[in-house]
A and B are shown apart, each in its own frame.
Chain A
Amino acid sequence: MAGWTEHQGQAVALPVHNIDTDQLIPARFMSTPRSEGYGQFLLHDLRHLESGSKCPDFPLNQFPQASILIAGRNFGSGSSREAAVYALVDAGFRAVVAPSFGDIFASNAVNNGLLPALVSEADLERLTGELNEGGGSAHIHLEHGHIIVGGSKVPFSLDNSWRTKLINGWDDIDLTLQHELAIEKHKQDRRTTSSWVWPNAEDQNSQVNGSQ
């Protein structure tokens, strides 16, 4: 995953609370291999009419080039499906700006280079107010921690470790393997002090509750 520090792009407002991951990507699309691209599935059932054609007045259809999503409270609540983030990333999004995020969604976002930018409700309104009919150009600066839309510059909060990760595009597995010795020591200590943690061989216990 590539790191980034600044992003200039088009912002689009989706002023709805509780956009959950089932809406971000309905479950029926999740057996698709990532290589086929998940952008087509983003907010699929909100974006499309029953006939299958696109809703002309849905914000994301009006601004198909958007890369910054300005959304309502509790964005990405619900399931842990990282596919919700893949759908956003594959559709070209680099950031979601909202007053709050589902915990699992936010960490999945950072793992894929997507910024979950936390702003206050008041600042969210300021940003939305700067947009022209729901869209407009915007600039994000990760290090400075601000987003500019029109004449408004508002700060966003982001955990420092997440900021560093987004900027460096780090892969956690590589980082973690540097701590291999510490992990091995923890494992050995646990084995010594709490051997019960390791699963019993399956056939040592008589099975219960009607199993064979």
Chain B
Amino acid sequence: MTAAATLLDKLWSSHEVLTREDGTSLLWVDRHLVHEGSHHAFAKLAERGAAVAEPELTFAVVDHYAPTRHREHIADPKIRRMIETLRANATQHGLRLFDLMDPAQGIVHVVGPEQGLTLPGLLVNCGDSHTSTHGAFGALAFGIGATEVAHVLATQTVWQKKPAAMRIVVDGKLAEGISAKDIALNWIAKLGSDGARGHAIEYAGSAIRGLSMEGRMTLCNLSIEGGGRFGMVAPDDTTFAYLRGRPFAPAGEAFEKAQETWQKLHSDEDAIFAKDVSLAAEEIAPTVTWGTSPEQALPVSATLPDPSRLSDEKQKAARDALDYMGLAAGRPIEGTPVDQVFLGSCTNGRIEDLRAAAAVLAGRSAKVPGLVSPGSALVRHQAEQEGLDQIFREAGLEWSASGCSMCVGMNGDIVAPGKRCASSTNRNFRGRQGPGARTHLMSPAMVAAAAVTGTITDVRPLLKGRAV
């Protein structure tokens, strides 16, 4: 190719088996991650009497229904059945399963990177929309539905039309207490929850380069909340340092050889993007959602919108959202009392997230109850070695096992109707955390601040004089 190529172009062409006349490509899949929710796809495979084409490239994780307490005996028969079905499918097809008691169990989008299963240049599929997380490594990673999961299981390929390329450039330095979560909620509020629909997002700029892999994963994870099925960051030394020595990553000479290839995975300087957006890191404040769509987000210092001052199109949605959330137009967001907090999820359940929350909570007590569910058993172990679990426990929060937990409520960890939760998760949809639950999305540090004061609170003053 002579024209300047985007990272998307490079990743796409290296996976293209063929392209149909109508422009749809058949892509080779390097990693396929499945979970309990993949039961529909395995059922489709069984209907055809088909086998998994590449068991060596297929990995199974128990996460969506994983109990965060009393794992040894699962009381709910529906939850037990979901997990047993995955076990049976993994056994039948010879898949490596990260089961409930596995020391490396966790949320699929935490486990993949942590185990070195996710690498730059790979195509990663999973029947989960937050698969965009893996793009943080410079991988082509996207969520697929059950029919497509069955297709990947049977053929190790996926049909896909190439999305348009989009770039979000964040230059500058993030202020203390501001994280990748704030960047994400910020751009989604600006562009809308469908702002990146039909596009693959590449995040670039000095503020992105300055993010750890954990931060990049948070950012890529939330791409889908702005409508983007793909999110990615070009790999660099931060990426390579993270991957070296991971269990499934190439070792020794093979790693060095791989790294030579990975270093070429970046957009050419004069590459053209169909959409190009710039943000200044300095202008990003701690951001929280107030409504029932991730685009309904504002800086914590702002006041709740007055629907009558919004465009016709947004008025009804804002009115409905304020009503569902039990909030009054025109009032400050800060100071809104919360009933509970949740720390965890594929968005913000990694070690850095727990450290950020613990830095706020150390030596303080939570005014409201809360649950902390680390993103994986390894994150949990690491946090315990650092004494973070003690900080959470002493503050009065519950320290539990890992899984999707209260982000999606499938395992029974739900927020009661009408209750308000400050949450480090990814979706504030109606009923997401349970029927009638009211969710405010924010960064882990902001969740910790809400726990300390019992209200939605700007975390920055609480960080003064503390090492972060």
List residues of chain A with CB under 8 Å of any chain B CB: 16-18, 20, 22-23, 26-28, 30-31, 33-34, 45-46, 50, 73-74, 77-83, 85, 100, 102-104, 107-108, 111-112, 159-161, 164, 172-173, 176-177, 179, 182-183, 186-187, 190, 194-200, 202-212
Contact = CB atoms under 8 A, between A and B. Distances in A.
Contacts of B128: 79-80
B432 interface: yes
A60 to B, nearest CB: 16
B157 A183 contact: yes
B254 interface: yes
A196 B410 contact: no
A211 B247 CA distance: 10
Interface in B15-51: 17-18, 20, 22-24, 26, 28, 30-31, 37, 40, 43, 48, 50
A211 B103 contact: yes
B98 to A, nearest CB: 11
A103 B198 contact: yes
Contacts of B2: none
Contacts of B37: 30, 81
Contact of B145 (A17, A34, A111, A197): A111
A34 B42 CA distance: 12
Interface of B: 17-18, 20, 22-24, 26, 28, 30-31, 37, 40, 43, 48, 50, 56-57, 65, 78-79, 81-82, 96, 103-104, 114, 116-117, 119, 121-122, 127-129, 131, 143-148, 150-151, 154-157, 159, 161, 163, 192-194, 197-198, 224, 227, 229, 245-251, 254-255, 257-258, 261, 292-293, 313, 316-317, 320, 351, 378, 381-382, 385, 408-410, 417, 427, 429-432, 435-436
18 contacts: A18-B193, A78-B224, A78-B427, A79-B143, A80-B128, A82-B40, A82-B146, A103-B197, A161-B161, A183-B26, A183-B157, A198-B56, A199-B57, A207-B247, A208-B245, A210-B378, A210-B385, A211-B381
A85 B145 contact: yes
Nearest to A164: B22
Contacts of A198: 56-57
A3 B18 CA distance: 25
B251 A200 contact: yes
